[in-house]
Amino acid sequence: MATEGTLSPSEYITHHLTFNTKAIGEGAFWAINIDSLVMGVLLGIISMALIWMVARKATAGVPSKGQAFVELMFGFIDDQVKNIFHGDRHAFIAPAALTVFIWVLVMNSMDFLPIDVMAHFIYAPLGIHEWRSVPTSDINTTFALAIAVWILMIYFGIKVKGFGGWIHELFTAPFGSKVWVWPANFLFNIIEYISKPLSHSLRLFGNMYAGEVIFLLLGLLASTSVTGVFFGALLGAGWSIFHILIVGLQAFVFMMLTVVYLSMAHEGH
């Protein structure tokens, strides 16, 4: 069996991607990416626990810095939801939007931590040699989030319109209720239902994964020569600044699409 040092580039990538993947049952169709799952759950618990601690200590007087930050975030998300969803947003939509935004933002923000420092001081003492620190750079994580939103979208569509009304809308929108346009309506709605989770997940994954790849390429450039070190550091600093915007922007976009999809489920054509 070839050691890691003798693997070809393609073999190394395959080995790296499957190292923390555990198959369920026989075959490779159903599997769990242990690193993405553990990091996603852990970061979700930590972020929600921090907000709960701040909310528990909130006072009506002069707020602390933590309380002021949380209140600012709450107000920002609530304003965005209010502009899109016209209903009782505080029942579910606004809390869901806040949860999605914070969770995705924290997962994306793991990209700010230097992977070599994490590997040396965190993972190596635990005996972990290959670990994905950024869950959203795994397409399985972003698909799971998008599919959860997709299921909620169908649930609210049936809840608000009734199962019969939801089925009726599949065949009568957007071209009308004439029998001869039912196939076209159904086809357009099915394409819409399929495209939503695809675009929702691939946008977040593509940006985060591409960011990881660029950081790796800049690291390889720095290993070539002294000139490579200079340009690698210069380009890396520039890309890091730009990547800060990507991390926050992608969390915001994912949250906004979640609100838009759930709002559309509450409205009829």
Show which residues are catalytic. 199, 203, 207
> What are the residues whose beta carbons fall under 8 Å from the beta carbon of 249, sequence distance 6 or more?
none
Distance CA 163, CA 20 (A): 41
| Contact between residue 102 and residue 51 where contact means Cβ atoms under 8 Å apart | yes
| Longest pairwise C-alpha distance within the chain | 71
Q: What does the DSSP 8-state code read for residue 27?
A: S
Distance CA 161, CA 265 (A): 9
Give Cα 236 distance to the centre of its chain: 24
Q: What does the DSSP 8-state code read for residue 64?
A: P
Residue 21, H or E segment: strand 21-23
3-class SS string, 231-259:
HHHHHHHHHHHHHHHHHHHHHHHHHHHHH
> What are the residues whose beta carbons fall under 8 Å from the beta carbon of 193, sequence distance 6 or more?
150, 154
Q: Count of residues for the chain?
A: 269
